[in-house]
């Protein structure tokens, strides 16, 4: 068996979004996520278990948590074993071993899984992003066994709605402990979307703290590696007792102006006020706290690493809001929790937001000397998620690039949508492999009983041109266009638009409640079509843009592509050796 290698990759510094059902063009709730790392990006179908009589479910360590490098969970294989169906590799590497076990019901639901759970057969949907917190506990066997990724999977296995998922996650943190970084899980179904933010508070503790807030149905929400929930008002039933196990696992926040009434759309863990008081994060007997500065240091890595993306996403969906890109500090209240978009959004509109590099703004990464002669927005960087970078009071970067929503190191993205049709709902997970700007999102019906082998196959250490891994087709093109970004991306965008619009048209009748008999066959065939087209695109780019030239036909072979005169002047070409 192979020994796993732990690649020192950039990690899960993601961007995640919610579109409420009244803010979308077709009445869908949309939950989206970009997995901004390059690691194990396989999308695996996890089958349901019915009447299996499994008494316990093992809970596994998550490499996404930045914890110790062990447990046989790494950037190459996040999990190896048999408990999640045949899609997970059980041959080439030794099996993962667990942090602990929880009781298991006889029946579970099927779902799509990647670095985090994605979507289940009942259209419960997940999104995620990592957020810095003041305390990052390590995992400990049978004491702190849950990170957000395993929480997302257990929720998909057992829950049908977002509220059910919050109840379950709250109970799991309460009973089995939380470890790792601060985290946000977006939880959505066909009716509503919720933001659930969580972290540890004690390096030796056996639980965790969290808050959750519902996004209004006509609003759009975005989060980018910094907590977004703010004011929590102590519930009148929260007695701040020493033994939190005497309390329910969570409370509803009181209303700001009426402590006797509860806010159905704002929840918090029952140990929140006590834990923050014991840590000296709030004054004794405080009945209100601001979650963001209480439990975290705000942004991490560098100023505007998070907030610039929040500003950009909001300004794209609501330009008349006139939100400003500059703020006083990472705890700013300049940006609302969520806002109403000025036009209703589709899945393809959300994909467009994910493909942004601040084009047309003062932060445009496709302009300036760093973009090179062909307007390339890629800016390679160091690992943003390590050392003291979580705390900008200590971490003083020597320099920084703007952090775009579409970043070169994105491993994959998904845009989930679920729509209510009478008593039933319909859902699709649109999967895009590698970085958003150069991928093609492909829909997969939530009730599929399997996923194509090409999307379940991927190894960062094994490449084959036109091989059996869909991810490598997109990764190859995304990297190849860096040779001449401006010209080559025109070809990528044209194919991207054609294939995505075709898919949207094909699934629309199913979303509208019409027959779904053809849809599974379409999803499977569409993956083959798109991946084949992407390999064809790769061949076209290699032939057409060769040795700094362009070939467009039999009478136009290897024509020199001149550099722009403005760039030549900027880099000193005209001061070169032109005479003796």
Q: How confident is the model at residue 382 (pLDDT cuts 50, 70, 90)?
A: confident
50 and 160 housed in the same domain: yes
Report the C-alpha gap between 90 and 536 in whole angstroms: 32
Would 268 be classed as within a structural domain? yes
Q: Cα–Cα distance between 319 and 332 in angstroms, integer? A: 19
pLDDT grade, residue 178 (50/70/90)? Answer: very high
Instruction: Categorise residue 52: left if φ over 0, alpha if ψ from -120 to 50, beta otherwise.
Output: alpha
CA atoms 337, 341, 344, 347: torsion sign:
negative
562-570 long-range contacts (CB < 8 A, ≥24 apart) are 563/373, 564/373, 567/372, 567/373, 568/373, 570/369
> Last residue of some domain: 255, 279, 294?
294
Whether residues 423 and 444 share a domain: the answer is no
Q: What is the pLDDT of residue 6?
A: 45
At 220, is the pLDDT very low, low, confident or very high (cuts 50, 70, 90)? very high
Ranking 56-70, 315-329, 526-540 by mean pLDDT, the lowest is: 56-70
Confidence of residue 373 (pLDDT cuts 50, 70, 90): very high
Q: Is the pLDDT of residue 9 over 70?
A: no
In a domain, 577, yes or no: no
Percent above pLDDT 90 for the chain = 85
The mean pLDDT value for 328-346 works out to 98
Write down which residue in 294, 312, 337 finishes a domain: 294
Strand residues in 70-192 grouped as ranges (E): 98-103, 111-113, 117-120, 125-131, 182-188
- Same domain for 527 and 474: yes
Q: What is the pLDDT of residue 2?
A: 65
Which tokens is 9 given? 């990759």
Beta-bridge partner residues of 245: none
Per-residue pLDDT at 5 exceeds 60: no
Query: Which of the pair, 346 or 6, is modelled with greater confidence?
Result: 346
Task: Provide the pLDDT for residue 575.
Answer: 94
Whether pLDDT at 7 is above 90? no
Q: Mind listing the pLDDT tens digit for each residue in 411-470?
A: 999 999 999 999 999 999 999 999 999 999 999 999 999 999 999 999 999 999 999 999
Quote the radius of gyration of the chain (alpha carbons, Å). Answer: 24
Please answer whether residues 379 and 365 qualify as being in contact, where contact means their C-beta atoms are separated by less than 8 angstroms: yes
Q: Give yes or no for residue 219 having a pLDDT over 90.
A: yes
The tens digit of pLDDT for each residue in 236-268 reads 999 887 776 778 999 999 999 999 999 999 999
Q: Which residues contact 38 (CB under 8 A, 6 or more apart)?
A: 9, 10, 75, 409, 410, 411, 460
Residue partners of 128: CB distance under 8 A and separation at least 6: 12, 14, 16, 33, 116, 148, 149, 152, 183, 184, 185, 186
Q: For residue 211, what are the CA distances in angstroms to 151, 214, 413?
A: 15, 11, 25
Residue for token pair 């004054």? 283
313 and 285 share a domain? no
Residues 125, 56: Cα–Cα separation, whole Å: 24
Confidence of residue 12 (pLDDT cuts 50, 70, 90): low
Q: Which domain covers residue 510, as residue numbers?
A: 432-560
| 476 and 376 part of one domain | no
- Predicted pLDDT at 492: 98
Is the domain of 166 the same as that of 265? no
Q: Rounded distance, CA 319 to CA 314, Å?
A: 7
> Does residue 8 surpass a pLDDT of 60?
no
Contact 305, 249 (CB under 8 A): no
Of residues 73 and 20, the one with the higher pLDDT is 20
Average pLDDT, the chain: 93
* Phi, psi dihedral angles at 56 (to 5 degrees): -125, 155
Does 545 lie in the same domain as 493? Answer: yes
Let me know if residue 580 belongs to a domain: no
pTM of the predicted structure, to 2 decimals: 0.96
The 3-state DSSP class for residue 467 equals coil
Average pLDDT on 272-291 reads 96
* Together in a domain, 205 and 300: yes
Residue 556 — very low, low, confident or very high, per pLDDT cuts 50/70/90?
Answer: confident
pLDDT (tens digit, 9 = 90+) per residue, 322-331? 999 999 999 9
pLDDT digits 0-9 by tens, 55-66: 899 999 987 766
Residues 6+ apart with CB under 8 A from 60: 71, 73, 79, 81, 96, 97, 98, 99, 150
Check whether residue 126 and residue 215 sit in a common domain. yes
546 and 441 part of one domain: yes
* Host H or E run for residue 198: strand 193-199
Of 5-9, 374-378, 485-489, least confident by mean pLDDT is: 5-9
331 shares a domain with 260: no
Q: What is the pLDDT of residue 383?
A: 64
CA–CA dist 452, 44 (Å, integer): 9
Give per-residue burial for 490-500: e unless 16+ CB within 10 Å, then b: ebbeebbeebb
Residue 7 counted as domain residue? yes
Decide if pLDDT at 84 tops 60: yes
User: 131 - beta bridge partners?
Assistant: 182
Q: Stretch 485-489: mean pLDDT, rounded?
A: 97
Give first-to-last CA distance, the chain, whole Å.
65
Say if 579 falls within a structural domain.
no
Number of domains in the chain: 3
Determine, yes or no, domain membership for 256.
yes
- Per-residue pLDDT of 131-164, as tens digits, reads 999 999 999 999 999 999 999 999 999 999 999 9
78 and 213, same structural domain? yes
Alpha-carbon span 444 to 433, nearest angstrom: 13
Domain assignment present for residue 320? The answer is yes
Residue (of 126, 198, 186, 122) closest to 159 by Cα position: 122
Q: How many residues does the chain have?
A: 580
CB 149 within 8 A of CB 130: no
- The 10 Å CB-count burial string (b at 16+, else e) for 76-95 is bbbbbbebbbebbbeeebeb
DSSP 8-state code for residue 213: E
Residue 46 located in a structural domain:
yes
Q: Examine the pLDDT at 549 and tell me if it is beyond 50.
A: yes
Q: Can you tell me the mean pLDDT for 23-42?
A: 95
Q: What is the pLDDT of residue 1?
A: 63
Q: What whole-number distance in Å separates Cα of residue 196 and Cα of residue 164?
A: 13
Per-residue CA distances from 346 to 42, 274, 504 (Å): 26, 42, 10
What is the residue whose two structure tokens read 């396989």? 42
- CA of 293: how far to CAs of 265, 333, 384, 445, 564, in Å? 21, 11, 20, 40, 47
> Measured between alpha carbons, how far is 36 from 225 in angstroms, rounded to an integer?
11
Show which of 431, 454, 480 is a domain's final residue.
Answer: 431
Q: What is the pLDDT of residues 92-143, one digit of tens each?
A: 788 898 999 999 999 999 999 999 999 999 999 999 999 999 999 999 999 9
């Amino acid at each position: 068996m192979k020994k796993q290698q732990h690649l020192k990759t950039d990690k899960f510094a993601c961007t995640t979004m919610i579109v409420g059902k009244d803010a979308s063009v077709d009445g869908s709730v949309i939950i989206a996520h970009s997995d901004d790392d390059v690691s194990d990006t396989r999308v695996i179908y996890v089958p349901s278990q019915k009447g299996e009589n499994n008494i316990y479910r093992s809970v596994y360590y998550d490499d996404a948590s930045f914890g110790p490098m062990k447990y046989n969970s790494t950037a190459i294989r996040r999990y190896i074993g048999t408990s999640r169906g045949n899609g997970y590799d059980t041959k080439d590497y030794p099996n993962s071993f667990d942090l602990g076990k929880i009781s298991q019901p006889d029946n579970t639901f099927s779902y799509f899984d990647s670095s985090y759970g994605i979507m289940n057969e009942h259209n419960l949907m997940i999104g995620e992003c990592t957020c810095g917190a003041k305390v990052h506990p390590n995992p400990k066997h049978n004491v702190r066994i849950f990170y957000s990724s395993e929480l997302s999977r257990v929720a998909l296995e057992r829950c049908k709605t977002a509220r059910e998922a919050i109840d379950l996650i709250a109970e799991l943190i309460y009973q089995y402990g939380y470890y790792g970084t601060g985290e946000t899980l977006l939880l959505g179904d066909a009716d509503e979307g919720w933001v659930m933010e969580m972290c540890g508070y004690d390096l030796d503790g056996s639980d965790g703290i969290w808050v959750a807030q519902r996004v209004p149905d006509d609003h759009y929400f975005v989060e980018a590696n910094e907590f977004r929930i703010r004011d929590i008002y102590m519930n009148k039933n929260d007695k701040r007792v020493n033994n939190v196990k005497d309390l329910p696992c969570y409370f509803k926040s009181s209303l700001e102006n009426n402590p006797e009434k509860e806010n159905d759309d704002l929840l918090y863990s029952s140990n929140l006020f006590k834990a923050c008081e014991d840590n000296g994060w709030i004054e004794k007997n405080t009945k209100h706290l601001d979650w963001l500065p209480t439990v975290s240091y705000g942004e991490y890595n560098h100023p505007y690493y998070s907030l610039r993306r929040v500003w950009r996403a909001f300004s794209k969906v609501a330009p008349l809001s006139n939100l400003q890109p500059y703020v006083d500090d990472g705890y700013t209240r300049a940006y609302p929790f969520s806002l109403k978009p000025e036009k209703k959004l589709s899945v393809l509109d959300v994909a467009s937001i994910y493909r942004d590099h601040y084009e047309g703004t003062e932060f445009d990464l496709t302009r300036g000397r760093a973009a090179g002669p062909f307007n390339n927005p890629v800016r390679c960087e160091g690992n943003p998620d390590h050392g003291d970078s979580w705390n900008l009071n200590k971490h003083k970067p020597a320099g920084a690039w703007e952090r775009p929503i579409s970043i070169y190191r994105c491993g994959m993205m998904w845009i989930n949508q679920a729509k209510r049709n009478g008593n039933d709902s319909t859902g699709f997970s649109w999967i895009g492999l590698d970085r958003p700007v150069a991928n093609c999102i492909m829909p997969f019906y939530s009730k599929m009983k399997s996923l194509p082998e090409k999307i379940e196959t991927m190894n960062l250490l094994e490449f084959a041109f036109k091989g059996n891994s869909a991810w490598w087709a997109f990764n190859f093109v995304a990297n190849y266009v860096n040779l001449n970004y401006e010209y080559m991306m025109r070809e990528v965008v044209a194919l991207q638009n054609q294939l995505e619009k075709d898919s949207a048209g094909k699934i629309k009748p199913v979303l509208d409640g019409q027959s779904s008999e053809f849809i599974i066959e379409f999803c499977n065939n569409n993956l083959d079509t798109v991946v084949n087209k992407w390999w064809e695109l790769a061949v076209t780019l290699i032939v057409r843009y060769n040795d700094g030239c362009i070939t467009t036909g039999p009478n136009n072979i290897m024509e020199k592509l001149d550099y722009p005169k403005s760039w030549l002047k900027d880099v000193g070409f005209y001061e070169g050796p032109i005479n003796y």
